[in-house]
Chain A
Amino acid sequence: MTVIALVMILDFFIGDSTALDWINDTAVITRSWGIVISAFAMGLGAINLLRRHSRSIVRRDDNAFYSFLLVASMLVMIVLGVASGTESPGYDFMFSNILSPASSTMYASIAFYIVTAAYRSFSARNLEGWLLLITAVIVMLGKAPIGSVISDFFPVASNWIESVPNTAGMRAIMMGAALGVISSAVKMFLGLDKSYLGQR
Chain B
Amino acid sequence: MYVLLLAVLIGPLLKPIGIPIKISEGTQSAYDVIDSLEPGSKVVFGFDYSPGNAAEMEPQAIAILKHLLSKDVKVIGISFQAQGPMLAVKAFEAAGWTEKEYGTDYVNLGYRAGGQGAVAAFASDVPGTFNTDYQGKSVSSFPIMQGVKTAADVDMIITIAPGTPGPEDYVRQVYSTYKTPLVCGVPAVAITQVAPYVQAQQIKGILGGLPGAAEYELLMNQPGKAVAAMDAQSLAHLLIVALIILRNAANIFSKPSPKSQTTASAGSSAGRDV
- Listed in ascending order, the chain A residues whose CB lies under 8 Å from chain B are 12, 24, 27-28, 31-32, 34-35, 37-39, 41-42, 85-87, 92, 95-96, 99-100, 103-104, 106-108, 111-112, 114-116, 118-126, 129, 132-133, 136-137, 140-141, 143-149, 155, 159, 162-163, 166-167, 170-171, 174
Contact = CB atoms under 8 A, between A and B. Distances in A.
B268 interface: no
B148 interface: no
Interface residues of B, number: 76
A145 B2 contact: no
A166 B192 contact: yes
Contacts of B233: 144
A127 to B, nearest CB: 11
A35 B240 contact: no
Interface string B72-107: 000000000011011001100000000000000000
Contacts of B128: 28, 32
A23 B59 CA distance: 42
11 contacts: A31-B117, A35-B112, A96-B90, A99-B83, A119-B246, A121-B271, A121-B273, A123-B248, A123-B274, A129-B264, A167-B196
Contact of A124 (B4, B53, B90, B274): B274
Contact of B121 (A31, A41, A159): A31
A133 B248 contact: yes
Contacts of B4: 115
B121 A106 contact: no
B51 A12 contact: no
B51 A103 contact: yes
A111 B5 contact: yes
B36 interface: no
A133 B244 contact: yes
Looking at chain A's contact residues, the main secondary structure is: helix
B199 interface: yes
Ranked nearest first, the 9 interchain pairs of A and B with the lowest CB-CB distance are: A146-B234, A31-B121, A103-B52, A38-B114, A38-B113, A100-B51, A34-B117, A103-B51, A144-B237
Given A95-B83, A120-B247, 16 more contacts: A24-B124, A28-B121, A31-B121, A37-B114, A38-B118, A115-B239, A123-B272, A126-B273, A141-B237, A143-B188, A143-B237, A144-B211, A145-B211, A162-B191, A163-B199, A167-B196
A32 B90 CA distance: 29
B114 A126 contact: no
B115 interface: yes
Contacts of B222: none
A125 B251 contact: yes
Nearest to B215: A145
A99 B51 CA distance: 7
Contact of B264 (A96, A126, A140, A147): A126
Contacts of B120: 31
Contact of A35 (B25, B114, B245): B114
Contact of B240 (A27, A108, A114): A114
B221 interface: no
Q: Which of A27, A124, A149 has the most CB of B within 10 A?
A: A124
A123 B121 contact: no
B140 interface: no
Contact of B243 (A92, A99, A119, A126): A119
Interface string B151-182: 00000000000000000000000000100000
A132 B125 contact: no
Interface stretch (B16-24, B27-35, B38-46, B61-69): B16-24
Contacts of B118: 31, 34-35, 38
Contact of A125 (B19, B51, B85, B256): B256
B53 A87 contact: no
